[in-house]
């Protein structure tokens, strides 16, 4: 089930809770280790009270921001205040886009982030913004606004670049196994196998 309930949308090997929040229907993801209850929140997008309720009973280790557009962090300050022991990570290329206090840990790509017995690998995928990040675990990748069902995220200037986002998708995402579930920052889930055959078409159409 998706929405504002407290069930788990995925149970194994990760526990994943999908929250649809805010006027732009952002997807915020609670990602937890089943054995320990340690968790991360991917994008403190909006509706802080909903996100806080979804984290009840878990140990929040970190808030991971996929990029600096405000619809992905409007609840960040409230979450930071409620969970003072959790750190906030984002790519430094987007730090200037956050209202204070903003992130306190720079993620550059290549890091392995531990929570309980699970890890997420950080992928730097610029193009939507200079500091866009995705977070990968075997079987899943959280893509923010880098990859949606049917194509790349928007690449509006001055921060966006269509050639850059295409290279990020090609080199960082399409190399993942085809069965990898893509969990984007808006909209429905898809898979790498479903999106990969469309890649050259996206490049050709130019958006």
pLDDT single digits (tens) 124-164 = 999 999 999 999 999 999 999 999 999 999 999 999 999 99
Return d(Cα 105, Cα 162) in angstroms, integer.
Answer: 27
Q: Does domain 15-205 sit in CATH 3.60.15.10?
A: yes
At residue 179, the 3 state secondary structure works out as: coil
Quote the pTM value.
0.96
Give the chain's mean pLDDT: 96
Which pair of structure tokens corresponds to residue 65? 């921001």
Sign of torsion over alpha carbons 63, 65, 66, 70: positive
- Percentage with pLDDT > 90 across the chain: 95
Candidates 66, 63, 60, 56; CA nearest to 116 is 60
User: How many alpha carbons lie under 13 Å from residue 51 in its C-beta half-sphere?
Assistant: 33
pLDDT band at 207 (very low <50, low <70, confident <90, very high): confident
Residue 49 DSSP code? H
pLDDT-derived band at 1 (thresholds 50, 70, 90) equals very low
pLDDT at 169: 98
Mean local confidence (pLDDT), 67-84: 98
Contact 29, 43 (CB under 8 A): yes
Helix (H, G, I), strand (E, B) or coil at 168: helix
Q: Token pair 């928007």 is at which residue?
A: 154
Give the C-alpha separation, 130 to 107, whole Å: 13
- Find the mean pLDDT for residues 29-52: 98
């Amino acid at each position: 089930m998706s929405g504002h309930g407290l069930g788990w949308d995925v149970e194994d090997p990760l526990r994943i809770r999908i929250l649809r929040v805010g006027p732009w229907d952002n997807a915020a993801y609670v990602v937890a280790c089943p054995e320990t209850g340690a968790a991360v929140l991917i994008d403190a997008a909006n509706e802080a009270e909903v996100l806080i309720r979804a984290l009840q009973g878990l140990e929040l280790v970190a808030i991971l921001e996929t990029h600096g557009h405000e619809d992905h962090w409007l609840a960040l300050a409230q979450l930071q205040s409620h969970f003072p022991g959790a750190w906030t990570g984002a790519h430094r290329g987007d730090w200037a886009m956050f209202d204070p206090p903003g992130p306190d840990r720079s993620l550059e790509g290549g890091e392995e982030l531990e929570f309980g017995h699970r890890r997420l690998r950080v992928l730097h995928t610029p193009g939507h913004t200079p500091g866009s990040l995705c977070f990968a675990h075997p079987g899943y990748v959280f893509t923010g606004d880098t990859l949606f069902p049917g194509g790349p995220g928007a690449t509006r200037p001055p921060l966006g670049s269509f050639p850059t986002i295409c290279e990020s998708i090609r080199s960082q995402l399409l190399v993942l196994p085809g069965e990898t579930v893509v969990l984007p920052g808006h909209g429905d889930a898809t898979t790498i196998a479903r999106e990969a055959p469309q890649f050259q078409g996206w490049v050709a159409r130019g958006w």
